[in-house]
A and B are shown apart, each in its own frame.
Chain A
Amino acid sequence: MTSDNKSSDLRKEIDDFIATGSANLAALRMAELWRKESGTGTAAFVVSRHEKIRDKTQLSKYRLAILRSFTLEPVLPLLRAAAFVNGIDLTVHLGDFNAYVQAIVDQDSSLYKFAPDGVILAVRTADLAPDLWQEYADLDPDGVRGSVQRVTNNFQQWIRAFRERSQAALIVHNLEQPARPSAGTLDAQLESGQCTAIQQINSDLRRIAGEHRGVYVLDYDGLIARQGRLRWRDERKWLTARMPIAADQLIQLSREWMRFLAPLTGKICKALVVDLDNTLWGGVIGEDGMQGIKLSAEYPGAAFQALQRVMLDLTRRGILLAVSSKNNPDDAMEALESHPGMLLRPKNFAAMRINWNDKSQNLREIAAELNIGIDSLAFMDDNPVEREQVRAALPEVTVIDMPEDPVEYAAALRECPAFERLTLSAEDQQRTSFYVAERERSQAEQTFQTKEDFYRYLEQEAEIAPVSPSSLARISQLTQKTNQFNLTTRRYSEPQIEEMAAKPEWQVLSIRVRDRFGDHGLVGVAITRDENEACEIDTLLLSCRVIGRTVETALLSFLGQAAVARGRSRLSGKFLPTKKNAPAKEFYAQHGFELQTQNSDGSLWQLDLKQHPIAWPEWIKLNKIDGGIK
């Protein structure tokens, strides 16, 4: 009963905070309450209290439509509560039973009138393919093939129709397999078995989704299998309320939806900061020593290896790892570098703070070093006192609650929705190596007498290419998220970039940089437009990880030479100041441009290319690529 008393105290505290107008404190306590007991009752409480403070808190608004063939009403409060505590104010439109086809096909339907940001299509196998569900035993192999084809065609038509009518994200539940196939054990022996047929539809669905931008599959079959097909279902509620999911499983569906909503609303973490002792390994390195800590393929060390494996998986998703640990640096580094049980090594960590400082201070420094916001950090520590200290000092950090038993650590980390991603670029997968190379670079820089010596030592290679189908997404992404070295901060979608590139007077270029420490990937964009004698720079941006080693001069020099080759005699460009782009402020002045006009919006600069050609930095090797979209 103590937990009940505790949570009723929390409820009272929340109501008191709301009554006195302390909305942020109320929101923090509600997050705590939701962590301690997430369920139908708590969800109703959280939703009703959030309604009272929604005007006083800063939440991302998101409009979600759910199209369905069964009762989902009881999942909505669970979803809205989870969304609220994750900083999302969700407005939900729930379609009528089995009205999903009309809703998708009719462009005047209530679905499109609702103007959703995202749509979930949740249809049961039994409703979409009754012949493959309860009447399966009556089908011959040709009949099975026909049904699979029909369902696949349905998905194809609906997804295509939806995309023609809406740009919203679409999340499609795949189809569940039966807990007990109608042919019994024989089903697994048959080429046209019931489970095989449904798997075939799911595999086709994945392919169809991949053919459209912003269409994602939710592995509903996998979710049910994970929870247990027999436990998932409640036959009585299905027969009385068209509610097929057992009460204690509803929360699982809402959590699965949150795994999509987190990345769709940008509520994601870019880096995971971990403790060392009793987190990455069992025991305390400073006391137990290299032989004493638990870290191996055998129990109990295996639990820690399993956690390290999950962390490695996260780096493949583009998530950075960092260490914040209270240790003597020499002890900790010895284990990180040479303990035979370690799966992670120093090269896997983008930043390290091994010292006796406050963890919240370390987290602030790590965010600054990695050039990401504090709200992009997740924190994992076995010590509940450290976790609470971080929660109190930096409420924007995602603190992962660790189970008592290390055997459950790996699963707890895999559960965290802040690490979900819906797409992956080549840059994402190599991100850690960029940061580790950067650390080596800045160490190397300090050993050189002159900057030029350092530039030569770097052996940089720049590959400049016109936009191509394979670089389109990355170029658009860079215009969307580059804030610091960005002269005009103009944001462009993929279709906008495509449209510009197709016009003869426009050039859309990307730059890729390599050096002796590794490949930086595609890190810069230049967009220009020719008009009469001048070539005007519409956009010029570089990722901050390559600034300050003359890549920006190389890109400008290339633009100048290309403009001359097209018969232009002047290069012009604007600098439009923002809160964040001070690093680009002096760029045109430093390269000999003359100020033409200036007002509160920005300044216009111009360079006579015949009198002042921009020299290519001799230490950078140019690799020019032709072709592209045009």
Chain B
Amino acid sequence: MTSTTFEQVRGIASDLFAVPQDQITGASSPETIESWDSTQHLNFVLALEEKFGFQLSPEEMEQMHNVGDVVKVVDSKLQTTSS
């Protein structure tokens, strides 16, 4: 599950931040990706919600410090909605 989620999150991040997919790792964050600013962070959240069909809470949004965190949040969200 996690590896496919990672691929999907990577695809979205690549579109939004205009960075090639293979350069995005779990450690990629606003510090390592220049175009990941606050506007793009909101777009990132919206794109995830659109793609996976859930709404993220402000608390969950705060946990998303890097791509790895995003994958964790998405996976736990998908488990709670599917169970």
Contacts and interface: CB of A to CB of B under 8 A. Distances in A.
Interface of A: 1, 4, 8, 39-42, 44-45, 48, 71, 73-74, 77, 234, 236-237, 239-241, 243, 246-248, 250-251
Contacts of A4: 7-8, 11
Given A40-B47, A40-B50, A236-B55, A241 B42 contact: yes
A74 B7 CA distance: 23
Interface of B: 4, 7-8, 11-12, 15-16, 18, 21, 39, 42-43, 45-47, 49-51, 53, 55-58, 61
Closest 7 CB pairs of A and B: A247-B49, A40-B47, A41-B15, A247-B46, A45-B15, A41-B12, A44-B16
B11 A8 contact: yes
Contacts, number: 61
Contacts of A241: 42
Contacts of A251: 50
Given A41-B12, A73-B39, A74-B42, 7 more contacts: A4-B7, A4-B11, A8-B11, A234-B55, A241-B42, A247-B45, A248-B50
Given A8-B11, A250-B46, A39 B51 contact: yes
B47 A39 contact: yes
Given A74-B43, A77-B43, A248-B49, A44 B58 contact: no
Contacts of A39: 47, 50-51
Contact of A243 (B11, B18, B42): B42
- Which of A1, A40, A239, A241 has its CB near the most chain B CB atoms (within 10 A)? A40
Q: Is the contact region of chain B dominated by helix, strand, or loop, or is it mixed?
A: helix
A493 to B, nearest CB: 40
Contacts of B18: 44, 48
A605 B47 CA distance: 66
Given A39-B51, A240-B58, A44 B42 contact: no
Contacts of A1: 4
Contact of A248 (B4, B45, B53): B53
A45 B55 CA distance: 23
A524 B7 CA distance: 63
A74 B15 contact: no
A42 B55 contact: no
Contact of B42 (A8, A41, A73): A73
Contacts of A246: 49, 55
A73 to B, nearest CB: 6
B16 A236 contact: no
Contacts of A239: 58
Contact of B50 (A73, A243, A247): A247
A239 B55 CA distance: 14
Nearest to B60: A236
A602 B15 CA distance: 55
A420 to B, nearest CB: 25
Nearest to B57: A236
A54 to B, nearest CB: 15
B50 to A, nearest CB: 5
A39 B53 CA distance: 12
A248 B50 CA distance: 5
A40 B55 CA distance: 15
A41 B11 contact: yes
Nearest to B62: A240
Contacts of B56: 236
B12 A236 contact: no
Nearest to B38: A241
A71 B45 CA distance: 14
28 contacts: A1-B4, A4-B11, A8-B11, A39-B51, A40-B47, A41-B12, A41-B15, A41-B47, A44-B16, A44-B47, A74-B46, A236-B56, A237-B55, A239-B58, A240-B58, A240-B61, A241-B42, A243-B42, A246-B55, A247-B45, A247-B46, A247-B47, A247-B49, A247-B50, A248-B49, A250-B46, A250-B50, A251-B50
Could you say which of A1, A44, A236, A241 has the most chain B C-beta atoms within 10 Å of its C-beta? A44
Contacts of A74: 42-43, 46
Given A77-B43, A241-B42, A41 B51 contact: yes
A8 B14 CA distance: 11
A575 to B, nearest CB: 55
Nearest to A40: B47
A4 B18 CA distance: 18
A41 B16 contact: yes
A42 B15 contact: yes
B53 to A, nearest CB: 7
Contacts of B7: 4
Contacts of B15: 41-42, 44-45
A247 B55 contact: yes
B6 to A, nearest CB: 13
B15 to A, nearest CB: 4
B10 to A, nearest CB: 10
A247 B61 CA distance: 14
B7 to A, nearest CB: 8
Nearest to A39: B50
A4 B51 CA distance: 11
Contacts of B46: 40, 74, 247, 250
Nearest to A241: B42
A180 B53 CA distance: 24
Contacts of A42: 15
B7, B8, B49, B56: most-surrounded residue (chain A CB, <10 A) = B49
Contacts of A250: 46, 50
B79 to A, nearest CB: 19
Nearest to B41: A241
